[in-house]
Amino acid sequence: MTTGRKSRYAVEARKLKKVFRVGKKRIVANDDISLHINKGEIYSILGPNGAGKTTFIKIVSTLIIPTSGDVLVDGRSVLKDEIYVRSCIGLSTGFERSFYYRLSGYQNLLFFGSLYGIPSRKLVSRINLLLEEFGLYQWRSVQYMKYSTGMKKKLSLIRALLHDPKVLIFDEPMSSVDPESTVKLREVITDLKQKGKTILIATHNIREAEALSDRIAIMKNGRIVAEGSPFELKHLLKKKVLRIMQVNKDKLNAVKSVLRRYGEENFTVSGKKFSCILDDTELLPDIIAALNEAGIAPSEILIDDPDLEEAFVSILKEEESGLS
Ligand SMILES: Nc1ncnc2c1ncn2[C@@H]1O[C@H](COP(=O)(O)OP(=O)(O)OP(=O)(O)O)[C@@H](O)[C@H]1O
Ligand SMILES: [Mg+2]
C-alpha cells in the first residue's frame, strides 16, 4: 500500500528496468536504475544521445510503463497511483505531437489548463502571465503548427507550469531556445526551487547541468555510472589536468609528442588552449622537464582540477573501457 504514506523523497526509482523490443533485438533503455531525488532539489540526468534519459522521464511521468521495478513520486507508485502521480508533475518535452496543431498556442494552453481543473479566471491570468514572461504573448493567437521549434518548446514549458505542480520534469529544456529565453528559463527554474519545488532535468548540456543542479546523475547505456554534486563529480575522477593557455601551432605537435611519450593521450585543443587529462601524475616532473626542453616554460603550464566537461568525458570513457 503506497497511499497515505508521507515520503521523504520527491522521486524514487527502485531497480527500474525498461526493455524495448525492435524485431528480434532487445534494447535495454533503462538498466536497473535506483536513485532518489530529494524534495526541493534540482536533479539533472546528464548523458549522451541514446543513454536512456527520455525513457526514464517518460516512466516517471507515467507515459510508459517499466518492464520491471518501480518509481515513486511523492511516495506513490507510477504503476499503482498513476492519477495521483500525474497531478503532482508538470512535464515539458520535445514531443510536438502532444499539442493540437490547428489550435493557437493560447487555445492549447486553455485546453490543457482546463484538463488540470484550474478555475477559468485563474487559468487565463496565469496563461497570459507566462506567455508574457516567455516572450510568446504576441504569438498567442497563431496556430501551433506555425510556431518555430523554439516557440513550441516554450509553449511546452508554459504548459508544464500551468497547474503549479510539486515536481517539474524538463526534457532538454534549453535546446532550441534562444539565449534570452535560456536566461529566463534559468530564472524560472531557480525561482521554482525557491518555492520548494523539485526539478528533474534530462540534458546533454553539461554547462546548464552544472549551473543549475544540486546533484547530477551521469547516465550511459541505460545505467547511472556516477552521481553527485557538480563539485563531487569533478573530484570523483581523482585526476589532474595539464593546461597550457597559449600554445602556438608550431609548438603544438612537440607538446603532443612529449605527452604521448609518457603515455598521455587524453588531450583536447581549443584555439590556443591545450589540455590533457593525466592518467599518471607521478610522471609530472619528468613531463614538465620534457615540455621545457620543447620550448614551453614551466610558468606557462598549469596543473588543474578537471572541469565538469572533462570529468564527464573521462567518466564515460572509463565506463566504456570497463565494458569492453
Ligand atoms: N519506443 C521505442 N522503441 C524502441 N526503442 C526505443 C524507444 N524509445 C527509445 N528507444 C531506445 O532506447 C534507448 C534510449 O533512448 P532515449 O530516448 O531514452 O535516450 P536519450 O538519453 O533521451 O537520448 P537523446 O539524448 O538522444 O534524447 C535508445 O537506444 C533508443 O533507440
Ligand atoms: Mg532524450
Cα 171 to Cα 157: distance, rounded to the nearest angstrom: 10
What spacing in Å lies between the alpha carbon of 93 and ligand 1's midpoint? 14
54 C-alpha vs ligand 2 centroid, how far in Å? 4
Q: Indicate which residue's Cα is closest to atom 16 of ligand 1.
A: 52
Whole-number pLDDT of residue 323:
55
* Ligand 1 pocket: which of 17, 30, 55, 67 to mutate (most atoms within 8 A of CB): 55
Q: Looking at residue 36, what is its pLDDT?
A: 97
Judged by DSSP in three states, 34 sits in: strand
For ligand 1, atom 11: residue with the closest CA:
29
Nearest CA to ligand 1 atom 6: 20
Q: Of 238, 156, 239, 171, which Cα lies nearest the Cα of 208?
A: 171
Q: Which of 246, 175, 203, 197 is closest to 48 using CA atoms?
A: 203
Please state which CATH number belongs to domain 9-234.
3.40.50.300
Residue 91, beta-bridge partner list? 169
CB count within 10 Å of CB 206 equals: 20
Domain ranges of the chain: 9-234, 240-305
Altogether, the residues listed in the chain come to a count of 324
H or E segment to which residue 182 belongs: helix 179-194
pLDDT exceeds cutoff 70 at 212: yes
Task: Enter the CATH code of domain 240-305.
Answer: 3.30.70.260
pLDDT for 23 equals 93
pTM given for the model: 0.88
Please give the pLDDT value at position 2: 46
55 lines ligand 1 (CB under 6 A): yes
Residues bordering ligand 2, an ion, CB closer than 5 Å: 53-54
Asked if residues 29 and 211 have their Cβ atoms less than 8 Å apart, the reply is: no
Using CA atoms, how far residue 235 sits from 208, 266, 301, 311, in Å, is 19, 18, 21, 8
Rg over alpha carbons for the chain, rounded to the nearest Å, is 23
Is residue 324's pLDDT more than 60?
Answer: no
Q: What proportions of the chain, in percent to the nearest 5, are helix, strand and coil? A: 40, 25, 30
Please tell me if the CB atom of residue 50 comes closer than 6 angstroms to any atom of ligand 1: yes
Atom of ligand 1 nearest to the CA of 56: 18
High-pLDDT (> 70) share of the chain, % = 97
193-197: long-range contacts (C-beta < 8 A, 24 or more apart)? 193/40, 193/41, 193/42, 196/39, 196/40, 197/40, 197/165, 197/166, 197/167, 197/168
Closest CA to 60 of 98, 96, 22, 90: 90
Task: Please write the tens of the pLDDT for every residue from 39-93.
Answer: 999 999 999 999 999 999 999 999 999 999 999 999 999 999 999 999 999 999 8
Strand partners, 92: 170
- Angle between helix 149-161 and 105-115 (nearest 10): 30
Q: Closest-lying ligand to the alpha carbon of 18?
A: 1
Answer whether 216 contacts ligand 1 (Cβ < 6 A).
no
Condensed to tens digits (0 to 9), the pLDDT of residues 261-312 reads 999 988 899 889 999 999 888 889 999 999 999 999 889 999 998 888 888 8
Residues contacting residue 321 through CB under 8 Å, at least 6 positions apart: none
Place of cell 516572450: 135
Any atom of ligand 1 within 6 Å of the Cβ of 51: yes
Q: Across residues 181-190, what is the average pLDDT? A: 85
- The conformation of residue 24, written as its DSSP 8-state character, comes to T
3-state secondary structure 2-17: CCCCCCCEEEEEEEEE
With a 6 A CB cut-off, is 49 part of the ligand 1 pocket? yes
The total of other beta-carbon atoms located within 10 Å of residue 98's CB is 14
Ligand 1 and 63: CB distance under 6 A: no
> 3-state class of 163 per DSSP?
coil
